[in-house]
Amino acid sequence: MESFINFNGKVLKNDKPIIYADNHSFRYGDGCFENLKILNGKIILEAYHWERLFISLQILQFNKPNFFISHQFRDEIIELSKKNKHKKAARVRITIARGNGGLYDVEDHFPNYVIQTWDLNSMNNHFNENGLTVDFYWQAKKSYDTFSHLKTNNFLCYTMAALWAKENKLNDAIILNTSNRVADTTLANIFIVDNNIIKTPPLSEGCISGVLRKYLLKSLKENNIPFEEKPLTIEDVLQASEVFFTNSVYGIRWVKEIGNTKYNFTISKQLHNKFIVPLYF
């Protein structure tokens, strides 16, 4: 079936070439991206996504044009979703790239953007009763610096971990930082349950500043549910009663096993029912 993309505000066929060989993102991974979820014509957690996107543009020193505003992106996303005939649910990616040039002679700092959409199965809205099988990835480590929490186009660590997970028939891989503590996963932020306290690494540990992570932490605080943002060791994860992942496209997913360690899903399912279901249903 024919599909379409949006490049800098223009709707084009998906097979239309849109970048040159000296594109800064292609050469250096210079840029950022957002993954969003559309459900029945509505962007889930929309305000959180625009906040993260515009903060990323500022930190990465793009010159944000005056027309770079949330309602423009919203309108273009909804239009593209209809053009691609997504009936109920869709995954959306906005990719930002600086443009053409070398390290010291980039043409300008305009944030070129590409919007893409894909159909989502309706089961994506439901809790994963079967659980995920994952493990720790050791071959690359995530740094923790000013840019670690951004979803930049330099995603090599996550890409290689995803390839490794697929080769080993795993659903995901847990990424460690350079201190061998837990950062996040190839697709999500990680949470554990320890003595009924929900714990997740702080952004200072190198994890991506996930939209659903932020929403869940805010919801936990507002509902007086015990939680901590604290560094997590591998041992913390292996000794936890539950492990679950959060992602703005699929919500909460519980982990069934890491290596030989098994987990349950009592609290993670409760959190899904209380905070995720209202977003989707």
Q: What is the pLDDT along the chain (281 residues), one digit of tens a residue?
A: 789 999 999 999 999 999 999 999 999 999 999 999 999 999 999 999 999 999 999 999 999 999 899 999 999 999 999 999 998 999 999 999 999 999 999 999 999 999 999 999 988 999 999 999 999 999 999 999 999 999 999 999 999 999 999 999 999 999 999 999 999 999 999 999 999 999 999 999 999 999 999 999 999 999 999 999 999 999 999 999 999 999 999 999 999 999 999 999 999 999 999 999 999 98
Helix (H) / strand (E) containing 91: strand 89-97
pTM: 0.96
135-158 burial, b at 16+ Cβ within 10 Å, e below that, comes to bbbeeebbebeeebbbbbbeeebb
Q: Which domains does the chain have, with CATH numbers?
A: 4-124 (3.30.470.10), 132-280 (3.20.10.10)
Read off the pLDDT of residues 134-151 as tens digits, 9 standing for 90 and up.
999 999 999 999 999 999
Could you report the per-residue pLDDT of 187-232, keeping only the tens digit for each? 999 999 999 999 999 999 999 999 999 999 999 999 999 999 999 9
Residue 87's SS3 state is coil
Name the phi and psi angles at 254, rounded to 5.
Answer: -90, 150
CA dihedral 130, 200, 94, 155 (to 10 degrees): -90
User: Coil, strand or helix: which one is 109?
Assistant: coil
The strand pairing partners of 254, in sequence order, are 244
Query: Are 120 and 71 in contact, with CB atoms under 8 Å apart?
Result: no
- The angle formed by the CA atoms of residues 112, 246 and 60, to the nearest 5 degrees, is 30
6 CB-near residues (< 8 Å, 6+ apart): 12, 76, 77, 79, 80, 113, 114, 115
